[in-house]
Amino acid sequence: MSSPRPQPRAGTRAAGPARSRRAGRSPVLFWLGAALCAAAFACTYYVFVRTATGQFVDESAWAEAESGWRLGRGLSLRFLALLPDVSAALAALVLVWVVLARRRWSAAAAAVGVVAASAASSWLLKNLLLERPDWGVSMLAHNSLPSGHTTIAAAAALAVFLVVSPRWRPFTAAAGGLYAVLAGAATLISGWHRPADVVAAFLVAGFWTLLAGPLVLRSGEGWNVFHGYGTFWASSRWWPRLCWLLALLGTATAAELYWYISRVGPAPTPGTGLLPLFFWAGLGLITATGMLLSALLTWLFSLQAGRPAPRTKRHALP
The model's pLDDT over 27-49, given as tens digits with 9 standing for 90+, comes to 999 999 999 999 999 999 999 99
pLDDT along the chain (318 residues), means of 10: 50 48 86 98 96 92 76 63 75 82 88 95 96 82 90 94 95 95 89 94 98 92 91 96 98 96 80 82 96 97 86 48
Residues 72 and 83: their CA atoms lie apart, in Å, by 16
- Answer whether 286's CB lies under 8 Å from 197's CB: no
Report pTM. Answer: 0.87
DSSP string, 6-53: PPPPTTEEEPPPP-PBPTT--HHHHHHHHHHHHHHHHHHHIIIIISHH
The pLDDT assigned to 20 comes to 65
Residues 223 and 225: their CA atoms lie apart, in Å, by 5
The pLDDT assigned to 314 comes to 47
Secondary structure letter of residue 98 according to DSSP? I
The pLDDT assigned to 34 comes to 98
Chain mean pLDDT for the chain: 86
49 burial type by CB count under 10 A (0-12 exposed, 13-18 middle, 19+ buried): buried
Q: Which residues pair with 14 in a beta bridge?
A: 314
229 burial type by CB count under 10 A (0-12 exposed, 13-18 middle, 19+ buried): middle
The pLDDT assigned to 98 comes to 81
